[in-house]
Amino acid sequence: MEDRVFSSVHSTVFKESESLEGKCDKIEGYDFNQGVNYPKLLRSMLTTGFQASNLGEAIDVVNQMLDWRLADETIVSEECSEEEKNSSYRDSVRCKIFLGFTSNLVSSGVRDTIRYLVQHHMVDVIVTTTGGVEEDLIKCLAPTFKGDFSLPGAYLRSKGLNRIGNLLVPNDNYCKFEDWIIPIFDEMLKEQKEENVLWTPSKLLARLGKEINNESSYLYWAYKMNIPVFCPGLTDGSLGDMLYFHSFRTSGLIIDVVQDIRAMNSEAVHATPRKTGMIILGGGLPKHHICNANMMRNGADYAVFINTGQEFDGSDSGARPDEAVSWGKIRGSAKTVKVYCDATIAFPLLVAETFASKREQTCEPKTIA
Active site residues: 329
CB of 84 or CB of 241, closer to another protein: 241
One-letter amino acid for residue 59 of the chain: I
Residue 303: burial class (beta carbons within 10 Å; 0-12, 13-18, 19+): buried
Q: Tell me the sheet residues that pair with 302.
A: 277, 335
CB of 178 or CB of 186, closer to another protein: 178
Selected from 248, 312, 313, 314, the binder of another protein by CB under 8 A is 248
What is the smallest separation between the CB atom of 181 and another protein, expressed in angstroms? 9
Under 8 Å between Cβ of 174 and 138: yes
| Region near another protein per CB under 8 A, out of 11-19, 34-42, 242-250, 279-287 | 242-250
Asked whether position 238 contacts another protein by CB under 8 A, the answer is: yes
The contacts of residue 265 (CB under 8 Å, 6+ apart) are 293, 296
CB of 75 or CB of 175, closer to another protein: 175
Asked whether position 143 contacts another protein by CB under 8 A, the answer is: no
CB of 206 or CB of 243, closer to another protein: 243
What is the smallest separation between the CB atom of 236 and another protein, expressed in angstroms? 12
Number of residues engaging another protein in binding (CB under 8 A) = 15
**Max CA separation in the chain (angstroms):** 101
CB of 156 or CB of 296, closer to another protein: 156
Selected from 9, 71, 151, 175, the binder of another protein by CB under 8 A is 175
Asked whether position 177 contacts another protein by CB under 8 A, the answer is: yes
**Rounded to 10 degrees, what is the CA torsion of 27, 38, 353, 72?**
-60
Asked whether position 149 contacts another protein by CB under 8 A, the answer is: no
The runs of H, that is alpha helices, within the chain are 2-13, 38-44, 50-67, 82-85, 87-92, 103-107, 110-119, 130-141, 153-158, 171-195, 201-212, 218-224, 238-249, 257-269, 284-295, 321-327, 343-351, 357-362
Interacting residue ranges for another protein, rule: CB under 8 A: 160, 162, 171-172, 174-175, 177-179, 238, 241-242, 244-245, 248
